[in-house]
A and B are shown apart, each in its own frame.
Chain A
């Protein structure tokens, strides 16, 4: 696990010094700030229950930006850049297991992604004060909402790592991840309609329910409810895509 930790530190440092990361952070927080200000005004004007504020933040376009675009942008260089520059050769001939490299890179991307989200907690905190909502937001829903976001993004970043291991073209890797993210967030809602009678089958319905990430968020995590089956779904998804990434790397060594 030492190599995973070494890879994690190196990757996290390279995210921190990368201008792309800072551009993402600036764009996200400017956009988020404006959206949250508008949302608070609406809540104050119509005297809406403040407890409903956290679930509403899921519908903001800045959230979509973070969930659909950012995982692909963060992970596109993970392996594709190593393959393009040839540094994959020195990496794969070092005495480390493929799984350690994959784990280190994914963990760095996930922690950096979480760090990008972290200041948004401050926005919620600021809203609790006088000139804004003067509301007392409950800890539970906020924590559950962030946990859900962390798990979902972990899975999307794991897919990003996998996509990046398939090609030496960073843009293609990003595009693959963005298409996957878009499909995961939008497709399950549409799929029920397309499947017709089949969607009434118990197992198909269960699968579609689990895959319907946006509904799960608004009905569970955003209300402060943590469903273990959903946690298992995301953790399983992370493990599955990291495993595929390892297979993709190991395929070089398999005759």
Chain B
């Protein structure tokens, strides 16, 4: 339903999106993740035809966004990040106006509006002025607007931003329910909700696509796990006992008030040290209270491929500078 090929978008000399490609199949809910300023909204604005692409191709429902924008927009429901609605119109009036603008036939308009209001959970504010409803309701009015013409593709740009936990839960439920009838691409920087709602995640960082896969497969790609240990003994004794275990990288060692010491280790995916660890602790006669290995979370994975990449780039740049300085010096 959505096909993006080598999409690039520049604003003057600033490269906002750099040759990203992805496809979204019919009926999929795809979370579009990225830190602030990563290029999510820019990509979405190009997909909706609001901004032109600098190069590359975007197709929605088989129509090229650049060449046949009107046909694309007929298949599209769009919720922008900041929901702009006319403050002097009533919610019901606004949605009727939007339905008419989107070509919903007059005799079907009342039903279409009431269905969209039900789905978005705003049936109780139909008579209110748009300017008088709260931020959460504004967001949901925007969602009802996106749904009112029952388009096959929905693009939602941070639909839960600024909502309270109850409203957020409601929107997540609405998005989950949409999977049966619509293809949904929704952006967010809140990992938990993307993980809960989407069947697939795209991660964009500094304009490039860094990851593409199901939440579970992305988590499984995480290189490091965490080993947590709780032992009866002082931190110095515990540290001395574990010196011989290969592959463990101590990240935390804290003495507890009840005589226990808690330790955390960073553990590569291919290392299984539990047997050796148990042997070392038994040899030192240290009673083990707790030993567990935690899998990486999506948050850790996200952190690794966004900030981790930045850190790696910084290290590489610093190394290059050092190397060039060393060459210059006699």
Contact = CB atoms under 8 A, between A and B. Distances in A.
B145 A90 contact: yes
A17 interface: yes
A10 interface: yes
A193 interface: no
Nearest to B66: A255
Interface string A66-89: 000000000000000000011111
Interface string A11-47: 0001001100000000000000000000000000000
Contact of A95 (B45, B70, B88, B145): B70
A7 B100 CA distance: 9
Interface residues of B, number: 30
Contacts of B84: 85-90
A95 B48 CA distance: 10
A255 B70 contact: no
Interface in B72-86: 73-74, 76, 78, 80, 82, 84-86
Interface in B113-148: 142, 145
A14 B88 contact: yes
A93 B52 contact: no
Main secondary structure of the interface of B (DSSP, over half): loop
A43 to B, nearest CB: 44
A255 B54 CA distance: 6
B82 A95 contact: no
Given A17-B88, A252-B50, A253-B69, A95 B80 contact: no
Given A14-B88, A253-B69, A95 B52 contact: no
A7 B101 contact: yes
A64 B70 CA distance: 42
Nearest to A87: B84
Contacts of B269: none
B97 interface: yes
A231 interface: no
A255 B88 CA distance: 35
Contacts of B97: 6, 10
Given A89-B80, A94-B102, A254 B50 contact: no
A2 B88 CA distance: 23
A3 B86 CA distance: 17
B112 to A, nearest CB: 14
Interface of A: 2-3, 6-7, 10, 14, 17-18, 85-90, 92-97, 252-255
User: Lowest 10 A-B CB distances belong to which pairs?
Assistant: A87-B84, A86-B84, A255-B52, A95-B73, A95-B74, A6-B100, A93-B48, A85-B84, A93-B78, A89-B80
17 contacts: A6-B97, A6-B100, A10-B97, A18-B88, A86-B84, A89-B45, A90-B78, A90-B145, A93-B50, A93-B73, A93-B78, A94-B98, A94-B101, A95-B76, A96-B70, A253-B49, A255-B54
